[in-house]
């Protein structure tokens, strides 16, 4: 039996490894997606002052530090039982929307885009942002960089830093914005909205107008039937900053809707010995292994999943594109992995429009941006929608606000099972009779990159070197033996 | 003349340093014209096999971010060291251990138990833990070995230059890159892209009298934007930390956490800050001094937030 | 048979009091174990906590800082600053898991030769019973 | 790389007995950083010093380590040799292998191992020492003298006569101190005030002496040669210059106050002259006992004064602060007497006819409450039987004073003798432990008193004194006869001990000078530097340093004055150059500024960096240790040197 290893999986944030096992005919016997590293945040956050969590946990991920920073800050509100002033909430969401803009641009143009723009089988030296710039022209390249950078400017204006903001405090934010800054943000927002529209048209031209790509998107090899998870507002519209977590089943019917504080009743995490990353699943459905369907607790929490659980978008252009997507692909929910890219652009549009709305809110320059906590800190949960899925921070502290326990359900981790399944499917779909070319392997990675997995995030815990542990399962996945060396 | 070959790699860190490269903004495009980027997993399709195929010292400069936390990190460090003329520890994790090295306050078994058993949502009745080698019917699956102690890059290989910051700020990144692309380089071992003076030198806040009458935690007060935070009782690592970032956290009215690392002559960043802070305690009696010392919430985690692996003691006793 | 563990202790002595106290112990021919090697400093206030950490990291099993009794500092109150640093250092060493017996601050005047001898005896015994610190190994345990 | 040489001293057998010198020399000479090593029986001896000199020249050494006794002993000696041999003296380090190795360890092997470490510490340090030149600073050629008793008076006159300005600070209304209260002095029986008075007047008239009465030192800053002193003077309601001591003011004063000069045996007014010969010869208004100044209650004194036209009073006077600059300070704060009421067994305070020796002294004085007649305070009768109890509350570590006040044996003999002279038919008993009469003519004096005056000396302690129908029953033991004795006395005099003047503790901390266990000012060295406090520039005179009699006090006062004059004799003085320096990397965070006890650190607003005043810096290094950016360094005790020494120890 021959093993093919793609290592590292490039163009994702963090580290990943895919091992595909072929049978004697050279067809896929099995494929494993492994996360080879972890870091131990949940443990080493213990003993730290809880107010430092936004600063520390944002280092889980430098790609989406804002997600961790804001989730953590919201958890602090809960830990200290304090309600931020309205302006503070708006500033947080403003920062957060800018972050979504920057992040989705980064992903589409730098991480995943090249696959489409250059074509999946293009030589590797061209399958990158520089290749994209080469093909679309320098001004597009500059525009990409500008709009990404402008969004980061907004983050810096509110959060202090372009990467790893430092503004999060229980009961608000440490810094407000001036009227000048607001006007600057507004003009940035206007331009971001335009750029989002441009990106939609680009996607239209390059992808939707291209038969191969459309078939690729609708290709069974790139579809996994699972539950979907995402956060919605009280109109069941997609919301990134706040709301209830909603879960729909593979048919799209509501399965659960709960507030973040109740997450423990709905989410469990499964451990496999061959990867450092846990597999979250729906507690009430249960873990049935890396399979999809109604019976398996596996779920997706991706842009596509968010659109699947929602009943629309809260801003006009995004809403229009939302409808167009479901009409074009003909059904809801959509499980086709590659449609995630489209969903991401719908979100990019929403994020930029939301950014504009908030920048036009006169109250956002209100200097009252902090409520000083008065209650004794104890325990709290904070959640947001990170670009890569629902992100939950949960802290327990002593009366002095020193962290005693931390649990994190990190965005990408939600999709760990779904990703593994997608990869296996993709591998089965594109690897035939031992025909394993570079392009084909990239196509496997495409399935993977569709999730824009962020393993910097996912790998927030470190395992120890333990005695060898071999599990032998029956066909029914019942544990027959569990042999361990002492 | 051939373009210089440059590599970027990412070990145990958050990836913020990779994103910091994008902070070059439009410059990244001229950079692409000036140099050959021969390895950059986060952005370009190259595999370790490509790297292994390169000749010794075939790369002119490698920018390595992230701490050394597992066997893969170390393997890559050695590989890049061998393939590179110059190796740069890029960012606080590679240089100082960074926040990942707070893991040195714990140890592998504790982290392991916490992650795979104790955490509230974990369902693991059979106490399965990830294994370096797992035999599946189809074949053997391997993952790197996790280290008990996080190390800085220069604790596993020779490092030529250091660039501090979590992450290094944009202006500094482009300054550093241009130093390597046809610029002037200081002697080996130098810290690039940072000031030789402490953050206080660039901090715009007003300093009057250094006295700590009470330790104030950041959530307990809305600090005066104009006055030195330390003088308001808020622990700010600025005095013991290299400048160069532009004191951006202070501009956001938050204290410095020390990500730019120790000053050139400092023996140990944490010990220096501990000494400075306690020396200005406004207390003379045994009791008052004890009271103030006890009111510092987390000395180790505060003074070594970004530099535990790089510190004199490196980790806690196990 | 294996020889008993002999602690290595680094002593920082203020030249105005403790160092003179150590001299007095000598002139009075008092006997104490040779495990502590002293360094003569102008004032206990000269002691940077970095020195203590460096000593421990480099292989010392214990560190003694000795200065003038409160109120007797030759430089008015250098010893008070030492006390301030020491109290916070103790809390951090607790976090590092280093036993308090290993790092001590004592007030020993020039006339307290006997006390100096007693302190060295006491520390040597306490640390001997604690065993070696071996910090180098602690740091090196990677895998 | 420095060429370092090592010299190991045997100190006879003091070191060689336990430390293997040969081993030290051999092993050390193998070090790559040592070019020469030798040993000698006595390095401090002439041939020993010669060995060092020659070797420095011969082997072109540019740094040496001398392994010998404590630096406290011979550091200066060896540094001088180094200098004479053309080295900078800061390229000489001492390795203390005697006090801290050979003398404290028995096991030769272990002592030798430790000596090796001590030597390599010194080598590591000297390698990194930089050659330095002493810092010269100007000397303020003025002296502050605290205390206007005989010690302060003598010292003032000596310094002033040498031509230097003196500030004499006296807490009370007049100089003269204790001596002014004495009637006669032993052994010559001179009238105390008669010999003291002229000196007091001389002080008052001396152009170089500025006398500040009713004054106390409030703050002292600076350092030897350059002290900045704040003296607080209580309000001068009486203009000393104008007052002619006519006393009309006192006549009209309605407030009667017990006279402290006579220990309450007489009365004075709220405006008064401390005593007849007071200097300055001016009245003092005692604000505490005045019927009222704020608001004015009576003001009779001022009216009287104004009517006479003297008009020397100002009842609205305020306290003043004098800011003085001096180069040296002489502490002459003198003594007080132990509180006899604490000695309950002697009945002082309960029985009016039990008095202290100083009260008795006043009674003997011609200007005293009884104009020199001896009478019982209770009924004014002339006592017949009188008992003197020596060592009252002295030499009793557990219950009272542990020490001997030294003068009691002498004045008790004198008191007893004066009693017999004034009351020939009376009988005087003296209880004593042993007679301490060391001093010129002292023993003879005591003998003369005992024999000529037929005093009864009983060796032993008094157990109890109590009153019984008009008599004082004194119960004790005569340890010579071994018999219990009881004396029915008319008067009992307690020779209570001397204690440091009130406020010595506060003054000591103001001066940064240390006190001994009994609260007296401690000297730099009990034998070799008895006139100096450990704090440079501060000298000691009189009973403030330890109990002593008048001749000793006067001798020490002149000695202290000579020390001060020595300092003032040159317009500049040299200070240790091992001070702190600010490095380029300083960012002006300001942590160090408040830490310096000498205000040697300041923040330069232009450079936004700290600055050290080398003249003010004492080189303690506290700022260096606390500098968060390691931008301060202490010359010749740098972080690098300390780290190198740490490595030498743990290696």
Which comes out higher in pLDDT, residue A129 or B203? B203
State the average pLDDT over residues D178-195: 93
- Which residue out of B266, B271, B315 would a mutagenesis test of the C interface target, given it has the greatest number of C Cβ atoms within 10 Å? B271
Question: What tens digit of pLDDT does each residue of A246-302 get?
Answer: 999 999 999 999 999 999 999 999 999 998 889 999 999 999 999 889 999 999 999
Which residues in chain B touch residue C132, judged by CB atoms under 8 angstroms apart? none
Q: How far is B41 from chain A (nearest CA, A)?
A: 5
* Boundary-marking domain end, from D531, D549, D568: D568
pLDDT of residue A462: 22
Nearest CB to A462: which of B16, B41, B115? B115
Question: Given a cut of 50, is residue A455 above it in pLDDT?
Answer: no
Q: Are B165 and B171 in contact (CB under 8 A)?
A: no
Nearest CB to A42: which of B45, B115, B145? B115
Pairing outcome for strands A403-409 and A479-484: unpaired
With CA atoms as reference, the chain B residue closest to C81 would be B279
pLDDT of residue A468: 24
With CA atoms as reference, the chain D residue closest to C83 would be D622
D650 in C contact zone (CB under 8 Å) = yes
Q: Are A173 and A158 in contact (CB under 8 A)?
A: yes
Residues 246-305 in B contacting D (C-alpha not used; CB under 8 Å):
263-267, 272-273, 275-276, 279-280
Question: What tens digit of pLDDT does each residue of C2-21 get?
Answer: 578 999 999 999 999 999 99
Residues 526-585 in D contacting C (C-alpha not used; CB under 8 Å):
534-535, 578
Q: Which of B232, B96, B263 is nearest to B163 (CA)?
A: B96
Confidence at A453, pLDDT banded by 50, 70, 90: low
Q: What Å distances lie between residue A295 and A226, A286, A290, A299, D380, CA to CA?
A: 9, 8, 11, 11, 119
- Which residue out of D94, D96, D98, D100 would a mutagenesis test of the C interface target, given it has the greatest number of C Cβ atoms within 10 Å? D100
pLDDT of residue A124: 67
State the average pLDDT over residues A403-428: 87
A120 in B contact zone (CB under 8 Å) = no
- Which residue out of C4, C11, C39, C119 would a mutagenesis test of the D interface target, given it has the greatest number of D Cβ atoms within 10 Å? C39
- Taking the C-alpha atoms of residue B100 and residue B119, their distance in angstroms, rounded to an integer, is 19
The dihedral through the CA atoms of D126, D129, D130, D134 has a sign that is: negative
B135 in C contact zone (CB under 8 Å) = no
Q: Are residues D117 and D164 in the same domain?
A: no
- Taking the C-alpha atoms of residue B221 and residue B212, their distance in angstroms, rounded to an integer, is 15
Q: Are D274 and D173 in contact (CB under 8 A)?
A: yes
Q: Per-domain residue ranges for chain C?
A: 9-134
Q: How far is B147 from chain A (nearest CA, A)?
A: 8
> With touching defined as 3+ CB pairs under 8 A, do chains A and D touch?
no
- Taking the C-alpha atoms of residue B163 and residue B171, their distance in angstroms, rounded to an integer, is 12
Question: Is D585 within 8 Å of B267 when comparing Cβ atoms?
Answer: no
* Boundary-marking domain end, from D483, D499, D515: D499
Residues 88-117 in B contacting A (C-alpha not used; CB under 8 Å):
98-100, 102-103, 105-116
With CA atoms as reference, the chain C residue closest to D73 would be C23
Confidence at D33, pLDDT banded by 50, 70, 90: very high
- Which residue out of D11, D524, D649, D651 would a mutagenesis test of the C interface target, given it has the greatest number of C Cβ atoms within 10 Å? D649
Question: Is A49 within 8 Å of B297 when comparing Cβ atoms?
Answer: yes
Which pTM was predicted? 0.83
Q: Which of D152, D146, D170 is nearest to D284 (CA)?
A: D170
Question: What tens digit of pLDDT does each residue of A326-347 get?
Answer: 998 888 899 887 788 899 999 9
- Taking the C-alpha atoms of residue A330 and residue A17, their distance in angstroms, rounded to an integer, is 34
- Taking the C-alpha atoms of residue A142 and residue A150, their distance in angstroms, rounded to an integer, is 12
Candidate ranges A72-76, A130-134, A387-391, C69-73; pick with highest mean pLDDT: A72-76
Confidence at D138, pLDDT banded by 50, 70, 90: very high
Nearest CB to B239: which of D583, D603, D629? D629
Helix axes D408-422, D357-364, angle to 10 degrees: 40
Question: Is D585 within 8 Å of B199 when comparing Cβ atoms?
Answer: no
The lowest-confidence range among A310-324, B40-54, D307-321, D342-356 is B40-54
Which comes out higher in pLDDT, residue D414 or A16? D414
Q: Which of D126, D104, D94, D101 is nearest to D115 (CA)?
A: D101
- At residue D578's C-alpha, the angle toward residues D575 and D584, to 5°, is 125
Q: Are residues D73 and D90 in the same domain?
A: yes
pLDDT of residue C93: 98
Question: What tens digit of pLDDT does each residue of B277-315 get?
Answer: 999 999 999 999 999 999 999 999 999 999 999 999 999
pLDDT of residue A223: 76
- Taking the C-alpha atoms of residue A156 and residue A177, their distance in angstroms, rounded to an integer, is 11
Question: Given a cut of 50, is residue B69 above it in pLDDT?
Answer: yes
B14 in A contact zone (CB under 8 Å) = yes
pLDDT of residue A483: 29
Q: What Å distances lie between residue A267 and A274, B15, B149, B289, CA to CA?
A: 21, 27, 31, 48
Question: Is D629 within 8 Å of B197 when comparing Cβ atoms?
Answer: yes
- Tokens of residue D35, six digits: 């070019």
Give a yes or no: residue D574 inside a domain.
no
Start-to-end CA span in chain C (Å): 32
- Taking the C-alpha atoms of residue A217 and residue A197, their distance in angstroms, rounded to an integer, is 21
Q: What Å distances lie between residue D504 and C21, D222, D329, D501, CA to CA?
A: 25, 20, 15, 6
DSSP code at position B216: B
Q: Which of A389, D386, B255 is nearest to D377 (CA)?
A: D386
Counting one residue from C and one from D, how many pairs have CB atoms under 8 Å apart?
Answer: 123
Q: How far is B202 from chain A (nearest CA, A)?
A: 16
Q: Are A107 and A452 in contact (CB under 8 A)?
A: yes
Pairing outcome for strands D267-269 and A379-386: unpaired
Question: Is A10 within 8 Å of B45 when comparing Cβ atoms?
Answer: yes
Question: What tens digit of pLDDT does each residue of B139-188 get?
Answer: 788 888 999 999 999 999 999 999 999 999 988 998 998 898 878 899 99
State the average pLDDT over residues D35-49: 96
- Taking the C-alpha atoms of residue D541 and residue D157, their distance in angstroms, rounded to an integer, is 13
The domain in which residue D479 lies consists of 337-499
Q: In 10 A of CB D435, how many CB atoms? A: 19
Give a yes or no: residue D189 inside a domain.
yes
Which residues in chain B touch residue A146, judged by CB atoms under 8 angstroms apart? 25-26
pLDDT of residue D192: 94
- Secondary structure of C96-124 in the HEC alphabet? HCCCHHHEEEEECCCCCHHHHHHHHHHHH
- Taking the C-alpha atoms of residue A226 and residue A246, their distance in angstroms, rounded to an integer, is 14
Say whether A459 sits in a helix, a strand or coil.
Answer: coil
The lowest-confidence range among A41-45, A219-223, B84-88, D402-406 is A219-223
Question: Given a cut of 50, is residue B133 above it in pLDDT?
Answer: yes
Question: Given a cut of 80, is residue D188 above it in pLDDT?
Answer: yes
Q: Per-domain residue ranges for chain B?
A: 5-99+149-180, 105-147, 199-303
Q: Are C85 and C106 in contact (CB under 8 A)?
A: no
C141 in B contact zone (CB under 8 Å) = yes
Confidence at C33, pLDDT banded by 50, 70, 90: very high
Give strand pairing partners of D465. D474
Tally DSSP H helices, then E strands, for chain D. Answer: 15, 34
Question: Is B198 within 8 Å of D589 when comparing Cβ atoms?
Answer: yes
With CA atoms as reference, the chain B residue closest to D633 would be B265
Q: Are residues D31 and D96 in the same domain?
A: yes
* CB-count burial class (<10 Å; 0-12, 13-18, 19+) for B22: buried
Residues 78-97 in D contacting C (C-alpha not used; CB under 8 Å):
96
pLDDT of residue D529: 87
Which residues in chain D touch residue C32, judged by CB atoms under 8 angstroms apart? 104-105
Confidence at A438, pLDDT banded by 50, 70, 90: low
Question: Given a cut of 60, is residue A461 above it in pLDDT?
Answer: no
% residues pLDDT > 90 (chain A): 56
Question: Is A141 within 8 Å of B119 when comparing Cβ atoms?
Answer: no
pLDDT of residue B140: 80
Say whether D538 sits in a helix, a strand or coil.
Answer: strand
Question: Given a cut of 80, is residue A111 above it in pLDDT?
Answer: no
- Tokens of residue A306, six digits: 């968010």
Q: Are residues D484 and D398 in the same domain?
A: yes
Mean pLDDT of all residues belonging to chain A: 85
Q: How far is B25 from chain C (nearest CA, A)?
A: 39
The dihedral through the CA atoms of A227, A229, A232, A237 has a sign that is: negative
The helix (H) or strand (E) run that includes residue B304 is none
pLDDT of residue C98: 97
Question: Given a cut of 70, is residue C78 above it in pLDDT?
Answer: yes
Question: Given a cut of 60, is residue A99 above it in pLDDT?
Answer: yes
pLDDT of residue B27: 76
Question: What tens digit of pLDDT does each residue of D358-403 get?
Answer: 999 999 999 899 999 999 999 999 999 999 999 999 999 989 999 9
With CA atoms as reference, the chain D residue closest to B228 would be D589
Counting one residue from B and one from C, how many pairs have CB atoms under 8 Å apart?
Answer: 106
Which comes out higher in pLDDT, residue A187 or A428? A187
% residues pLDDT > 70 (chain B): 97
Question: Given a cut of 50, is residue A29 above it in pLDDT?
Answer: yes
Confidence at A480, pLDDT banded by 50, 70, 90: very low
Q: Are residues D453 and D590 in the same domain?
A: no
Question: Given a cut of 80, is residue A15 above it in pLDDT?
Answer: no
The dihedral through the CA atoms of B81, B86, B92, B97 has a sign that is: positive
State the average pLDDT over residues D533-553: 94
- Which residue pairs from D319-323 have beta carbons closer than 8 angstroms and sit at least 24 positions apart in sequence? D319/D232, D319/D233, D319/D234, D319/D235, D320/D232, D320/D233, D320/D236, D321/D218, D321/D230, D321/D231, D321/D232, D321/D233, D322/D167, D322/D212, D322/D215, D322/D230, D322/D231, D322/D233, D323/D228, D323/D229, D323/D230, D323/D231
B136 in A contact zone (CB under 8 Å) = yes
Q: In 10 A of CB D283, how many CB atoms? A: 29
- Taking the C-alpha atoms of residue D463 and residue D481, their distance in angstroms, rounded to an integer, is 16
Nearest CB to D99: which of C26, C42, C48? C26
Confidence at D570, pLDDT banded by 50, 70, 90: very high
- Backbone φ, ψ for residue A399 (5° rounding): -65, -20
Question: What tens digit of pLDDT does each residue of D70-96 get?
Answer: 999 999 999 999 999 999 999 999 999
Question: What tens digit of pLDDT does each residue of D234-270 get?
Answer: 999 999 999 999 999 999 999 999 999 998 889 999 9
CATH topology of domain C9-134: Rossmann fold (3.40.50)
D191 in C contact zone (CB under 8 Å) = no
Nearest CB to C26: which of D104, D118, D578? D104
With CA atoms as reference, the chain C residue closest to D109 would be C34
With CA atoms as reference, the chain A residue closest to B130 would be A273
Question: Is C143 within 8 Å of B151 when comparing Cβ atoms?
Answer: no
Q: Which position has the token pair 């930089």?
A: D130
Say whether A446 sits in a helix, a strand or coil.
Answer: helix
Q: Are residues D100 and D31 in the same domain?
A: yes
Question: Given a cut of 50, is residue A472 above it in pLDDT?
Answer: no
State the average pLDDT over residues C47-75: 94
Question: Is D591 within 8 Å of B267 when comparing Cβ atoms?
Answer: no
D634 in C contact zone (CB under 8 Å) = yes
Q: Which of A281, A244, A248, A267 is nearest to A385 (CA)?
A: A244
Question: Given a cut of 50, is residue A467 above it in pLDDT?
Answer: no
Mean pLDDT of all residues belonging to chain C: 93
State the average pLDDT over residues D547-569: 96
* Whole-number CA gyration radius for chain C: 15
State the average pLDDT over residues A50-61: 95
Say whether A66 sits in a helix, a strand or coil.
Answer: helix
Q: Does domain B5-99+149-180 have CATH number 3.40.630.30?
A: no
pLDDT of residue B31: 79
With CA atoms as reference, the chain C residue closest to B276 would be C85
Question: Is B276 within 8 Å of D583 when comparing Cβ atoms?
Answer: no
Q: Are residues D505 and D627 in the same domain?
A: no
Give strand pairing partners of B72. none
Mean pLDDT of all residues belonging to chain B: 92
Q: What Å distances lie between residue A433 and A4, A437, D263, CA to CA?
A: 13, 12, 121
In total, how many domains does chain D have?
A: 5
Q: How far is B5 from chain C (nearest CA, A)?
A: 33
% residues pLDDT > 70 (chain D): 100
Q: Which of D101, D165, D617 is nearest to C25 (CA)?
A: D101
Which comes out higher in pLDDT, residue D502 or A412? D502
* CB-count burial class (<10 Å; 0-12, 13-18, 19+) for D398: exposed
Exposed e or buried b per residue across B241-252, where buried means at least 16 C-beta atoms within 10 angstroms of its C-beta: bbbbbbbbbbbb
Q: Are residues D62 and D171 in the same domain?
A: no
* A333 cis-preceded (ω within 30 degrees of 0): yes
Q: Are D329 and D278 in contact (CB under 8 A)?
A: no
Mean pLDDT of all residues belonging to chain D: 94
């Amino acid at each position: 039996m021959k093993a093919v290893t793609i290592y590292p999986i490039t163009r994702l944030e963090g580290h990943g490894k895919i091992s595909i096992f072929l049978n004697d005919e050279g067809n896929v016997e099995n494929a494993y997606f492994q996360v080879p590293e972890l870091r131990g945040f949940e443990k080493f956050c213990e003993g730290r002052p809880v107010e430092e969590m936004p600063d520390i946990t944002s280092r889980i991920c430098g790609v989406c530090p804002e997600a961790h920073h804001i989730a953590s800050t919201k958890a602090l509100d809960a830990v200290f039982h304090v309600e931020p002033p309205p302006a503070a909430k708006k500033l947080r969401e403003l920062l957060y929307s800018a972050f979504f803009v920057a992040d989705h641009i980064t992903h589409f143009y730098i991480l995943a885009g090249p696959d489409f723009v250059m074509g999946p089988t293009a030589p590797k030296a061209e399958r990158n942002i520089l290749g994209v710039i080469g093909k679309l022209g320098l001004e597009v390249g500059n525009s990409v960089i500008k709009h990404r950078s402008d969004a980061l400017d907004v983050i810096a204006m509110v959060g202090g830093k372009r990467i790893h903001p430092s503004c999060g405090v229980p009961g608000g934010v440490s810094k407000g914005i001036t009227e000048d800054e607001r006007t600057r943000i507004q003009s940035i927002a206007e331009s971001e909205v335009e750029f989002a529209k441009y990106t939609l048209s680009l996607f239209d031209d390059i992808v939707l107008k291209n038969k191969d790509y459309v078939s690729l998107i609708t290709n069974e090899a790139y579809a996994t039937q699972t539950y979907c998870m995402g956060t919605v507002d009280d109109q069941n519209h997609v919301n990134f900053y706040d709301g209830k977590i909603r879960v729909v089943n593979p048919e799209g019917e509501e399965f659960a809707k709960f507030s973040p504080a109740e997450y423990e009743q709905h989410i469990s995490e499964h451990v496999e010995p061959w990867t450092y990353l846990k597999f979250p699943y729906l507690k009430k459905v249960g873990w049935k292994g890396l399979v999809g369907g109604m019976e398996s607790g596996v779920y997706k929490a991706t842009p596509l999943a968010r659109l699947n659980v929602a009943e629309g978008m809260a801003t006009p252009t995004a809403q229009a594109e939302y409808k167009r997507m479901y009409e074009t692909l003909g059904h809801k929910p959509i499980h086709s992995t590659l449609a995630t890219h489209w969903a991401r652009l719908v979100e990019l549009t929403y994020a930029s429009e939301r950014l504009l709305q908030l920048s036009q809110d006169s109250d956002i320059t209100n200097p009252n941006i902090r409520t000083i906590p008065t209650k004794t800190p104890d325990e709290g949960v904070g959640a947001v929608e990170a670009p890569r899925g629902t992100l939950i921070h949960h802290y327990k502290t002593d009366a002095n606000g020193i962290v005693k326990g931390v649990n994190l359900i990190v965005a990408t981790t939600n999709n760990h099972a779904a990703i593994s399944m997608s990869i296996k499917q993709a591998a089965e779909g594109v690897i035939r009779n031992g025909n394993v070319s570079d392009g084909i392997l990239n196509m496997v990675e495409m399935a993977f990159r569709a999730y824009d997995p962020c393993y910097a995030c996912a790998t927030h815990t470190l395992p120890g070197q333990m005695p060898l542990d071999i599990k032998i399962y029956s066909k029914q996945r019942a544990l027959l033996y569990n042999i361990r060396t002492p | 003349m051939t373009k210089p070959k440059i590599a970027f790699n990412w070990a145990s860190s958050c990836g913020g340093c990779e994103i910091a490269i994008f902070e070059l903004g439009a410059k990244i495009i001229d950079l692409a014209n000036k140099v050959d980027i021969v390895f950059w997993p986060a952005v370009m399709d190259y595999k370790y096999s490509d790297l292994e195929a390169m000749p010794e010292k075939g790369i002119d400069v490698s920018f390595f971010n992230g701490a050394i936390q597992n066997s893969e990190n170390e393997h890559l460090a050695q590989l890049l060291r061998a393939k590179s003329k110059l190796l740069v520890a890029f960012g606080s994790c590679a240089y100082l251990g960074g926040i990942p090295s707070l893991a040195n306050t714990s140890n592998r078994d504790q982290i392991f138990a916490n992650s795979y058993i104790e955490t509230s949502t974990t369902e693991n009745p059979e106490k399965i833990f990830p294994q370096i080698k797992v035999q599946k019917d189809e074949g053997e699956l391997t993952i790197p070995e996790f280290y008990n102690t996080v190390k800085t890059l220069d604790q596993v290989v020779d490092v030529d230059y250091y660039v501090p910051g979590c992450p290094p700020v944009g202006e500094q990144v482009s300054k550093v890159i241009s130093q390597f692309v046809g610029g002037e380089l200081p002697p080996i071992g130098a810290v690039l892209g940072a000031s030789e003076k402490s953050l206080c030198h660039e901090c715009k806040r007003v300093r009057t009298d250094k006295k700590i009458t009470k330790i104030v935690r950041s959530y307990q007060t809305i600090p005066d934007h104009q006055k030195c935070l330390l003088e308001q009782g808020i622990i700010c690592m600025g005095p013991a930390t290299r400048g160069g970032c532009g004191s951006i956290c202070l501009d956001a009215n938050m204290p410095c956490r020390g990500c730019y690392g120790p000053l050139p002559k400092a023996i140990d960043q944490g010990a220096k800050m501990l000494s400075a802070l306690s020396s200005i305690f406004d207390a003379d009696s045994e009791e008052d001094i004890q009271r103030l010392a006890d009111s510092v919430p987390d000395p180790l985690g505060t003074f070594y937030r970004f530099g535990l692996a790089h510190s004199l003691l490196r980790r806690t006793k196990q | 048979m294996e020889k008993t563990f002999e602690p290595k202790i680094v002593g920082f002595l203020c030249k105005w009091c403790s160092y003179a106290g150590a001299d007095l112990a000598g002139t009075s021919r008092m006997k104490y174990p040779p495990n502590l090697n002293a360094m003569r400093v102008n004032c206990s206030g000269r002691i940077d906590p970095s020195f203590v950490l460096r000593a421990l990291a480099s292989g010392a099993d214990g560190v003694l800082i000795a200065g003038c009794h409160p109120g007797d500092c030759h430089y008015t109150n250098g010893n008070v600053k030492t006390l301030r640093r020491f109290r916070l250092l103790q809390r951090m060493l607790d976090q590092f898991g280093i036993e308090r017996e290993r790092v001590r601050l004592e007030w020993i005047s020039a006339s307290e030769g006997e006390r100096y001898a007693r302190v060295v005896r006491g520390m040597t015994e306490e640390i001997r019973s604690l065993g070696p610190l071996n910090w180098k190994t602690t740091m090196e345990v990677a895998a | 790389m420095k060429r370092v040489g090592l010299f190991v001293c045997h100190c006879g057998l003091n070191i060689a007995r336990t430390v293997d010198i040969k081993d030290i020399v051999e092993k050390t000479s193998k070090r790559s950083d040592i070019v020469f090593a030798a040993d000698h029986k006595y390095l401090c001896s002439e041939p020993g010093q010669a060995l060092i000199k020659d070797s420095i020249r011969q082997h072109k050494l540019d740094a040496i380590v001398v392994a010998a006794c404590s630096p406290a002993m011979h550091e200066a000696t060896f540094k001088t040799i180094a200098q004479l041999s053309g080295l900078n003296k800061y390229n000489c380090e001492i390795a203390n292998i005697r006090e801290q190795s050979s003398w404290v360890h028995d096991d030769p092997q272990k002592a030798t191992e430790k000596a090796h470490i001590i030597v390599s510490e010194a080598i590591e340090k000297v390698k990194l020492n930089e050659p330095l030149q002493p810092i010269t600073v100007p000397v303020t050629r003025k002296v502050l003298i605290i205390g206007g008793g005989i010690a302060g008076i003598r010292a003032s006159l000596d310094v002033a006569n040498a031509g230097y300005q003196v500030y004499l600070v006296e807490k009370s209304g007049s100089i003269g101190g204790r001596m002014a209260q004495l009637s006669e002095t032993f052994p010559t029986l001179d009238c105390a005030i008669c010999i003291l008075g002229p000196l007091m007047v001389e002080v008052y008239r001396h152009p170089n002496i500025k006398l500040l009465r009713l004054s106390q030192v409030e703050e002292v800053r600076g350092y030897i040669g350059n002290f900045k002193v704040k003296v607080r003077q209580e309000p001068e309601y009486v203009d000393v210059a104008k007052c002619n001591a006519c006393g009309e003011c006192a006549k009209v004063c309605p407030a009667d106050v017990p006279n402290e000069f006579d220990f309450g045996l007489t009365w004075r007014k709220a405006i008064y002259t401390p005593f007849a010969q007071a200097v300055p010869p001016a009245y003092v208004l005692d604000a505490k006992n005045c019927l009222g100044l704020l608001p004015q209650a009576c003001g009779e004194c001022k009216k009287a004064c104004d009517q006479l036209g003297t008009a020397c009073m100002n009842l609205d006077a305020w306290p003043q602060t004098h800011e003085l600059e001096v180069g040296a300070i002489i502490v002459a704060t003198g003594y007080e007497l132990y509180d006899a009421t604490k000695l309950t067994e002697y009945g002082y305070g309960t029985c009016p006819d039990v008095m202290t020796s100083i009260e008795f002294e006043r009674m003997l004085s011609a200007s005293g409450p009884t104009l020199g007649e001896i009478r019982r305070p209770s009924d004014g009768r002339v006592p017949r039987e009188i008992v003197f109890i020596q060592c009252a509350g002295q030499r009793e570590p557990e219950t009272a004073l542990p020490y001997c006040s030294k003068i009691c044996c002498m004045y008790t003999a004198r008191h007893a003798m004066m009693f017999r002279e004034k009351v020939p038919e009376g009988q005087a008993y003296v209880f004593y432990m042993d007679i301490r009469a060391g001093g010129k003519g002292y023993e003879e004096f005591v003998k003369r008193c005992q024999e000529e005056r037929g005093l009864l000396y009983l060796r032993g302690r008094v157990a109890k004194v109590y009153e019984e129908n008009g008599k004082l029953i004194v119960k004790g033991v005569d340890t010579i006869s071994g018999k219990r004795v009881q004396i029915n006395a008319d008067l009992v005099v307690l020779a209570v001990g001397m204690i440091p003047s009130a406020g010595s503790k506060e003054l000591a901390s103001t001066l940064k000078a240390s006190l001994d266990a009994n609260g007296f000012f401690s000297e730099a060295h009990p034998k070799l530097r008895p006139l100096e406090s450990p704090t440079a520039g501060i000298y000691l005179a009189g009973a403030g340093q330890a109990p002593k009699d008048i001749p000793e006090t006067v001798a020490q006062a002149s000695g202290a004055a000579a020390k001060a004059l020595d300092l003032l004799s040159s317009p500049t003085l040299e200070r240790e150059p091992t001070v702190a320096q600010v490095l380029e990397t300083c960012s002006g965070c300001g942590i160090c500024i408040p830490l310096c006890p000498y205000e040697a650190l300041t923040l330069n607003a232009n450079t936004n960096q700290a600055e050290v005043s080398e003249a003010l810096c004492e080189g303690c290094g506290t700022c260096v240790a606390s500098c968060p950016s390691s931008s301060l360094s202490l010359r010749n005790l740098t972080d690098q040197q300390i780290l190198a020494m740490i490595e030498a120890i743990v290696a």
